[in-house]
A and B are shown apart, each in its own frame.
Chain A
Amino acid sequence: MTKTLNDDGAPAERTLLAPSKKSRPPKKKAGRKSPMRVHPALWLFPMPAVILLVIFMAMPTLQAFHYAITDWNGYSATFNYVGVDNFVRAFTGDILFMNAVTNNVKYMLVVVIVQTIVSLVLSLMLVRNTRGGIVLRALFFFPTILSSVSVAFIWRFIYDPNFGLLNSFLGAIGLEQFQGAYLGDPAQAIYWVALVQIWAHSGQMMVVFVAGLQAIPAELYEAAELDGANRRQRFTTITWPLLAPATAIVVAYTTIQSFKAFDLILGIAGNPPKSSVDIISTRIYTTFANTDFGYAAAQSVIFMLLIVLITVLQRRVLRLTQKQE
């Protein structure tokens, strides 16, 4: 509870968490008393889009839920309903699926944290529309327009322990002790792939941050400077809070991107990938290839629900940050 003064100077009580009922706008009454005054033919206009959406999005999704409770192998005319067995198997009886989930979480954490920081730092350095800044922004954005497969092949070459650029470079500057197997090291491989994702998409996220930074009114910085705020204070009190929506977008997008790094993983690690770099999407693909459609559909449903859960959580974070403004 906080106390403020009314127009007449009298104290008025209000809560920050629960605004008074009086301040709420009156609810519109919906339902049968709100007829839609449009010509029925107008309903036909969105139909092509709706039909495509239903056939290519909604129906396959519903079918996935259906297949997920069967043991269908992908080609037989017959199948059995197995209830929730496929889901139980995924969580309790499948080392490979749980390994893929673990890898994916590691991958997501590294990509989200490092990529957000890198793109934020880049955007802070290149926010001004100088000629050099624009050129550098284009340069950092460039990897985004490359196909994932091209990126994967470039980095396969970089990481190769014998012919790769990385080990050659380390050898050339006398740091042989840091040379490694990279993708061949089961404990590190997933992080090396995460680095590729960060390299490829930091520029893209930098653009989002630059847009966010350029939307912050310059007057705020001028006022802060007059008040004697140093650079760190200006960042923590102005830049960072006002960049919250852009940050939320970057984090949400990067998270979903990390779960869908299918083409990058297959390009860099081959198909099927080694278990050290197997993530949920590649695991689902292998399960489909293994003619285990019912189980693969169950894995897809889990995957979908996981992304929905994370997206909902992130939308809440976004809403919270917007409220704080």
Chain B
Amino acid sequence: MSYELSRRQVLGVFGAVGATFALASCAGPGSTGGAITATGPSAPLTGTPSGKVSFAHWRAEDKDVFDELGKRWAAEIADVSFTQDITTSNDYNAQGLQKIRGSNVGDAFASFRGAQFASMADAGIYTDLSATAAAAAFVPSLLTAGTLNKQTLGLPYQVVFPMPVSNLDAFDKANAESAPKDWDSFLGSCEALKTGGYVPMAWPGGDVGNAGQLFNCMVANNAPAEDACAQIEIGTLKVTDDWFIAMLKQYQELVPYMQDNAQGTAVEAVQNMFVQQQAAMLVTGSYHISAIRALGAKFPVDLIFPSTNASGKTANYEGVYNATFILGVNAASEVQPAAYSWIEFLSRPENAAYYADNTAQHVAVAGVEYSDPDLVKLSPWLDKRTMLAARFQFENLDVRNAVEATAIAVVGGASPEEAAESAQLIVDQNLR
């Protein structure tokens, strides 16, 4: 028997197979996740919770706490089990949407406020939690970050204060005002700290994400509108406007009070400066308090707001906060009742308190009694007139990075006008 195949026949077979795959590759990109219906997202399915719930998030440091809560939840409800799918925050920010929309992971999931929440909502991943018991357990004013078109799609679980953390011992020793009411008194505090031998402000200019937290404080009382960052993104405000340049000039005034070469300093370094009491303020946010305690800081801490208002003028805001780690139920989940049950479980005050105390983060659930000393100390900030962190109004990451980079450039020695013009070019090219 002859098995002769000519080269032409072989090439023909390979060509046909190749053409099939090529055609398959040319199938249009499309959606496999939840889709937005004409009426918008619908409420999560009700019924008896059962099945294995995958909880997707980025906070590896909270794994043990969620594991414990997951055990408690599974002990309470028969036929459910719990697993965590944790991705690093960088990767979660970049790929979270793609991972979750396939619904292989993330029956319940968390999202960042801002760009990620917006695109996840746009992708139709969320169910509508508006009329649920879980949403009712939250402080209503703190639900804004998870609300879109009057529907509560996500429940912002954490409340963080992206404001400088102050070493109260250092302020006492330097006789510096720990609660300045305006810009001049804030600079006065910095001067007193500097005279007292401290680096007043340890700012991680080498870390874009953490460096941007100060931007929230600087914008709060400088911006002409509450949604100024959103307006910059759509082009109705510009970073070359006077208010923005004035804000950058205030950044310039802070340079003598920051560590040398602040624009290149990593976040780990500023944490160490703060813990070793070389620096009196850690210019990141309350979310770093657990880290500095872990590094051995024993001194009492509080938050300090660099209010940019002129003396004699009342500030619009006394601080800034962010409501993040937005919990949602995946619209494409096959175990939706169980996924909702998990979110509802987290929303109970006793469970939220357990989470808060063990992660040193405030939560947006109403009626939570904190026992962690730092959380207790910082709790008054929950009742102050604070602004929802402005930087997360940006939905385009390139725009956000460009705008925030102006501050880093100015601290590095660039002129405010030049830095603003460079950033405006990038904002302009992203206007659609």
Q: Which residue of B8, B28, B426 is within 8 Å of A79 (Cβ)?
A: B28
**What B residues does A45 contact at CB under 8 A?**
none
Q: Is the CB of B425 within 8 A of A95?
A: yes
Chain A residues within an 8 Å CB radius of B205: 184
Q: Given A184-B206, A289-B397, A291-B97, is A271 in contact with B90 using a C-beta cutoff of 8 Å?
A: yes
Q: Judge whether A77 is part of the interface by a CB distance below 8 angstroms.
A: yes
**Residue among B35, B269, B409 making CB contact with A77, cutoff 8 Å:** B35
**B-side interface mostly:** helix
Verify if A183 is at the interface (C-beta below 8 Å from B). yes
B27 → A minimal CB distance (Å): 8
* Contacting residues, chain B, for A143 (C-beta < 8 A): none
Does A212 have its Cβ within 8 Å of any Cβ on chain B?
A: no
Task: Select B397's contact among A40, A156, A182, A272, beta carbons within 8 Å.
Answer: A272
Chain B interface size band reads 35 or more
Q: Which residues of A contact B415 (CB under 8 A)?
A: none
| A220 CB → nearest B CB, Å | 45
Distance between B256 CB and nearest chain A CB, rounded to angstroms = 16
In angstroms, Cα B365 to Cα A45, docked, is 61
CB–CB B429/A289 < 8 A: no
**Contact B7 A34, beta carbon cutoff 8 Å:** yes
**With A77-B31, A271-B90, A290-B398 given, is the CB distance from A185 to B5 under 8 Å?**
no
Interface of chain A residues 16 through 69 with chain B (CB within 8 A): 30-32, 34-40, 43, 54, 58-60, 62-63, 66-67
CB-contact partner of A162 in B3, B265, B398, under 8 A: B265
Let me know if B266 and A37 touch, CB within 8 A: no
Given contacts A183-B206, A289-B397, whether A59 and B25 have CB atoms under 8 Å apart is yes
Question: Which of B6, B93, B263 is the one whose CB lies under 8 Å from A289?
Answer: B93
| Contact, CB under 8 Å: B208 / A75 | no
Q: Which of B4, B26, B97, B209 contacts A270 (CB 8 A)?
A: B209
Query: Is B131 close to A, CB under 8 A?
Result: no
A77 touches B30 (CB 8 A): yes
Which of B4, B18, B426 is A36 in contact with, Cβ under 8 Å? B4
The number of inter-chain residue pairs (CB within 8 angstroms) is: 163
Select one of A66, A67, A275 contacting B405, CB under 8 A: A275
Partner of B5 from the list A35, A77, A180, A184 (CB cut-off 8 Å) is: A35
**Is there an interface contact between A30 and B7, defined as CB atoms closer than 8 Å?**
yes
Residue-wise interface mask of B (253-285) relative to A, using a CB-CB cutoff of 8 A (1 in contact, 0 not): 000000111111110110011000000000000
Interface status of A178 (Cβ within 8 A of chain B): no
Partner pick for A76 among B98, B123, B260, CB 8 A cutoff: B123
> Given contacts A58-B21, A75-B98, A185-B412, is CB(A36)–CB(B266) below 8 Å?
no
- For the complex, is B33 an interface residue (Cβ under 8 Å from A)? yes
Cα distance A43–B29 in the bound complex, in angstroms:
33
Question: Assuming the A-B contacts A96-B398, A290-B398, are A67 and B29 also in contact, with contact meaning beta carbons closer than 8 angstroms in the complex?
Answer: yes
Residues of A within 8 A of B (CB): 30-32, 34-40, 43, 54, 58-60, 62-63, 66-67, 70, 72-77, 79, 93-96, 156-157, 159-164, 179-186, 266, 269-275, 285-286, 288-291, 293
- A-B contact list, 8 entries, CB within 8 Å: A36-B10, A58-B25, A75-B119, A77-B30, A157-B268, A183-B206, A183-B264, A290-B115
Beyond A31-B7, A67-B29, A94-B429, list 11 extra A-B contacts (CB 8 Å).
A37-B3, A63-B26, A70-B29, A157-B268, A160-B264, A179-B261, A185-B264, A186-B412, A272-B397, A285-B94, A286-B94
